[in-house]
A and B are shown apart, each in its own frame.
Chain A
């Protein structure tokens, strides 16, 4: 692992050696799907890139290297990462979930609306169930009808926007129940440092999801389905069922993200998910997942989100304006995919 030089992804002028290193690892790691070692470095690189960016920030503005600054960036990152976990699951199985934005919006609004009649816990469960149902329909149409994931999830996104507008009519709900605040924006004291509760929550979710992906039969078969669906079918895997459950998990995670976002920002609106359409895919791609499926990790997604969040912090500190931030996001994605996004020899 240490022999492979980490690619300095933020610098556009990547030297050829990390490039060569990446491609060899990819080649070695690909056949041994079961081997965790083959994938671990990939999830580590975004974290390395984040540390490099953090160090650059410290060189430019020494007062940036503080625990508060780190926690601020990490909080922003973990919210983006939670919104991208579902996308990660979808991308691993060679799909994509463009219905994430309105799943977030619908679950957030439905949660707030249902807190009254069902109580906080009932509303929480109902919102997650709504996400899972959305995912079930996505997965069923993709697996059983064979429509492309892009078309299916775009149609679902439009459908959900209609449902949101019909049910909530641009109303903004702002009353957030206490227990959601307790798990998101409330300050916890960890080792004497005050952190928002969403940070440990997101990290715990990451660990659980990574364990599921890496060590359960279902998680492993998700990768196999993403890498070679036909082979998986011939090998006797219930491909359709894995696909559908994968999208169900993806939908439930997007719904969870909606609740977390409501808890942290304490407001919900019909278009609250819009910014997560491209940035959730961006976090997944920067996190080292293959857009063709079969590769990716939620740890990498957190790393990708950290990179994007650190860029946002730097841009804010240097007063460059949010346009430059988007420009740098684009450049980072280009660098990342040119390092390891190449299509397998077709």
Chain B
């Protein structure tokens, strides 16, 4: 294990990258295996701290959160966002961005919901996942092999996938049943919402994939230093293609969770997830230049952003403040480390 280089190998701290990581420390091999160092390097400390503060405040204002019903409602609310944000994270890790992620979500959502009308559930699930994979590979192929900018490619495919979604189903509907709702969004055991279980399974699977397989190392590597990766003989293009495909699959999971928890298919259901998935990834401390970002940070960032509205509701504040507050949280969590580093640098500069 220790022979493998850490996910984001020392990269030159660029002025534009927003990170809480201190300037690259001298390599201490012994520390690489500990979780804290990895979290710090991936910029996950700030979103985790933000979530802990948020959660404590939430429970103080509204202790009812810990009751079975509210816990389940809250988790059904955040799990789709968390899954889509994980998809966005994988694309961001390879230095891209996916503008079409909301449209992919809408498309998978309506495919899943309409296919349930005629096909058995596992086939519908498989179809939705394949659609997500196909959309991701379409983007990935154009970005990796045609050399086009990710932001422009996914802008184009956002129009395309979105129109396909409305072609499949032009108004909310579909055949999501009560049983499917219970299997994805009900309560498995007392105080264990099954949505959280699915999220945990997917997150652990993704973590194993990113941290313990060659593909995962390559995804981090391609984002952090394309040239070295190429020099090392890794197929950077294939890695990018697979990263976009993986993001599509993760998005399809989010789409199915959303369709099941709302018991409907909706061709516009993915639209709000475009901006909020990017916001969650930003709040998670990922670098939009690629190579840095953590799974746990992204999930907790999605939880924070997804629950702000709820918290304000229970605090008796106009819930429209949620947009203002989430924006301020993003700027604070992403910006404060940068300010801190600049100030620290200036103070050090005066001393020397």
**Residues on A facing B (Cβ under 8 Å):** 96, 98, 141, 145-148, 150-152, 154-163, 165-166, 169, 278, 281-282, 285, 291-292, 323-327, 329-331, 333-334, 337-338, 341-343, 346
Contact = CB atoms under 8 A, between A and B. Distances in A.
Given A98-B275, A150-B97, A155-B279, A165 B164 contact: no
Residue of B157, B158, B328 most packed against chain A (CB within 10 A): B158
B94 to A, nearest CB: 14
Contacts of B334: 147, 151
Contacts of A334: 142, 153, 156-157
Contacts of B152: 285, 291, 333, 337, 341
B275 A323 contact: no
Contacts of A165: 320, 323
A158 B327 contact: yes
Query: Which of A141, A158, A323, A324: most chain B CB closer than 10 A?
Result: A158
Interface stretch (B30-38, B143-151, B294-302): B143-151
B327 A162 contact: yes
Contact of A147 (B147, B158, B327, B335): B335
B163 interface: yes
Contacts of B208: none
A158 B275 contact: yes
A342 B148 CA distance: 5
Contacts of B164: 323, 327
A304 B37 CA distance: 48
A40 B264 CA distance: 50
Contacts of B166: 323, 326
A282 B97 contact: no
Given A151-B18, A333-B159, A337-B148, 19 more contacts: A141-B331, A145-B339, A146-B15, A146-B17, A154-B279, A154-B282, A155-B330, A158-B326, A159-B323, A160-B323, A162-B320, A163-B323, A163-B324, A326-B163, A327-B159, A330-B157, A333-B155, A333-B156, A341-B149
Contacts of B318: 166
Given A162-B327, A165-B320, A291 B151 contact: yes
Contacts of B323: 158-163, 165
Contacts, number: 140
Contacts of A327: 159-160, 163-164
A330 B160 CA distance: 5
B330 A151 contact: yes
A323 B288 contact: no
Given A148-B288, A165-B320, A323-B163, A337 B156 contact: yes
Interface string B1-25: 0000000000000011110000000
B321 interface: yes
Contact of B155 (A157, A282, A324): A282
Interface in B317-352: 318, 320-328, 330-331, 334-335, 338-339
B278 interface: yes
A315 to B, nearest CB: 11
A159 B279 CA distance: 12
Nearest to B329: A155
B140 interface: no
A162 B325 CA distance: 9
26 contacts: A148-B16, A148-B18, A150-B97, A150-B282, A151-B18, A154-B279, A154-B282, A155-B279, A157-B275, A162-B321, A162-B323, A162-B324, A285-B152, A323-B170, A327-B160, A329-B159, A330-B159, A330-B160, A330-B163, A331-B160, A333-B159, A334-B142, A334-B157, A337-B152, A338-B142, A338-B148
B72 to A, nearest CB: 27
Contacts of B259: none
A96 B151 contact: yes
Contacts of A154: 275, 278-279, 282, 330
B99 interface: yes
A147 B282 CA distance: 10
A98 B97 CA distance: 14
B158 A278 contact: yes
A292 B18 contact: no
A330 B15 contact: no
A159 B331 CA distance: 11
Contacts of A148: 16, 18, 282, 288
A145 B335 contact: yes
A283 to B, nearest CB: 11
B46 interface: no
A342 B155 contact: no
Contacts of B146: 338
A278 B163 CA distance: 14
B109 to A, nearest CB: 16
Contacts of A145: 18, 335, 338-339
What are the 4 tightest A-B residue pairs by CB atom distance, in nearest-first order? Answer: A162-B323, A330-B159, A330-B160, A162-B324
A159 B324 contact: yes
A282 B99 CA distance: 12
B179 interface: no
Nearest to A279: B159
A291 B149 contact: yes
A230 to B, nearest CB: 9
Among A159, A160, A163, A282, chain B packs the most CB atoms within 10 A around the CB of: A159
Contacts of A341: 148-149, 152
